[in-house]
Amino acid sequence: MNDMTRPEGKPIRNESGIEIKPLYTAADVEATGGLEMIGQPGDYPYTRGIHPMMYRQRPYTMRQYTGFGNAADTNKRFKYLIANGQTGLNVAFDLPTQIGLDSDDPLSVGEVGRVGMAVDTLADVETAFDGIDLDAITVSLTVNGAAAVLIAMYLAMAEKRGYDVKKLRGTAQNDILKEFIGRGTWVFPVEPSVKLVGDTIEYCAQHAPKYTPVSVCGYHIRESGATPAQEMAFAFCIAKAYADDAIARGLHIDEFAGRLSYNFNVFGNLFEQVAKFRAGRSLWAKIVKEHYGATDPRSMWLRMIAGGGGGGLTFEQPEVNIVRGAYYALIAALSGAQTMALCCYDEAYTIPSEYAQRISLRTMQLLIEEMGLADTVDPLGGAWYVETLTNQMRAKMEEIMADVDARGGIVKMVAEGRVQAQVSAQAYAMQRSIEEGQFRKVGINCYRTEEEKPNVEFHPYNEADAQAQVTRLESVRAKRDAGQVKEALGRVRADAQAGANVMPAIVEAVKAYASVGEITNELIGVYGKYREPIRF
């Protein structure tokens, strides 16, 4: 299994299905569309980057994904990372919070604080960000099914601390369509879920115009089995669905598109990944300008976080994941990412330790300080292979998007389970190819070693901490104004029944210290719960 030779005469294709030639020349670039879409950094169509000087003016934000246990423990980890040079926060929430359950819900037993921070009320958010300057450190909330409630809590917390919400920057993932495709932390049926995303876009456009209410997440679509080209194409289809909803409400594209962002994956072939991002930037700019009629250049920018690639990490020989992570960071830097959130070597086993997170943070810092990745813009630009592949990846993405439109659009396909079925079948096929040795994976089907006990520090689950979270929730409920909470929850339900934007009501409810579960239950009473369609 350690033979490095490849069968003679057999074509080599990347994961997106594009055949890779043994040699590229200028003729290949010309044959695939030439340099028409390359432009200059900072100019339409932004293939080479959305800013003229890119990292030379401002290096990428380093935003490690973290959160566990309760808000106090997570606050300590936040401060540890900031002290070690991290320049942004990326918040992980536990499973109950992500699907709108309170910590004392019977369905939450065994999961409170296990894989992220438990949040029940505004009090938890206040604790999590205590002592953190929200003007100096921007915060990304990685939550989807309960995103509207967590956005409301974050804005309410910032306002309570004296920040001007109209100037507040930050991000929420809030991409529910990819949850139906990938991770599964949905709550409501597809159409009301999309409506809730639209509510947050509309509310933020009016009340928090510098806040990014949606980070469209191709990352998890890729993790679920999509090819790199599908990852980008499906993400753009999803972004268009959210944009269409916002425009139907009367918003102009330039009122909100500049605050949309993306979360993308990087594991896989280095050149395929770099080309997909360069292609994706120009394709998104073209869509926003030509399809939606945007005139503000910022509306056309593809702002993205990249660097993660959990699907590429291995349980076997986990220390090799340190090397993989370094290449993921290199890909993200060569691709022009605005933000990185680098996977840690122990994530195949456990919640990352402080030690593992520091290694990932140092990896990102090393690229800037020692490797010259901030010295020049788009260093791979002009390479015949890269420019040819960029053109081919753009064409592949357009082909995929056209197919989605022909099948009724991404919302319809997700509601029917068609996208889920497609990527799941691809994931199965990929797993089979790995098991059979056709797709080579170091440490799994080639270059294996006799497994030793991994040098990994496991994060223990603490039942006492979970009970303490429940006790904290009980304390908040005992101290709050019950009448005010009841009135606020009644407005949430009434606005949902009326088809109104529910965000103003949710904001008032969280200010009254209504819980995530209480607010979610009011919405479930109107919208119902999602039942996943099963396709074979």
> What are the tens digits of pLDDT across the range 205-262?
999 999 999 999 999 999 999 999 999 999 999 999 999 999 999 999 999 999 999 9
pLDDT at 462: 84
Cα–Cα separations (whole angstroms), residue 490 to 197, 486, 494: 21, 6, 6
CB-CB contact of 88 with 339 (8 Å): yes
Has residue 485 been placed in a domain? no
pLDDT at 444 over 80: yes
Q: Which domain holds residue 420?
A: 12-435
DSSP 11-53: PEE-TTSPEEPS---HHHHHHTTTTTTT--TTSTT-TT-SSSS
Is 38 within the bounds of a domain?
yes
Question: Which residues, in sequence order, are CB contacts of 368 under 8 Å at separation 6+?
Answer: 55, 59, 374
Q: Please give the Cα distance from 37 to 279 (Å, whole number).
A: 9
Q: What sign does the dihedral 139-92-121-133 (CA atoms) show?
A: negative
Q: What is the DSSP letter of 374?
A: T
Residue 107 maps to a domain: yes
CATH number at residue 419: 3.20.20.240
Report the predicted TM-score, pTM, of the whole model to 2 decimal places.
Answer: 0.96
For the chain, what is the domain count?
A: 1
Q: With residue 217 as reference, give the H or E element that holds it.
A: strand 214-217
- Residue 464 within any structural domain of the chain: no
495 domain residue, yes or no: no
Largest CA distance in the chain: 76
458 part of a folded domain: no
- Asked whether residue 3 is domain-assigned, the answer is no
Q: Is the pLDDT confidence value at 506 over 80?
A: yes
H-helix segments, 452-529 = 463-479, 482-498, 503-511, 516-527
* Sign of the torsion formed by the C-alpha atoms of 302, 305, 311 and 314: positive
Residue 1 has pLDDT above 50, yes or no: no
pLDDT digits (tens, 9 = 90+) for 286-311: 999 999 999 999 999 999 999 888 88
* DSSP sequence for 233-274: HHHHHHHHHHHHHHHHTT--HHHHGGGEEEE----S-HHHHH
Quickly tell me which residue has 């349980």 as its tokens: 315
Nearest to 294 by CA among 261, 256, 254, 260: 254
Residue 19, domain member (yes or no): yes
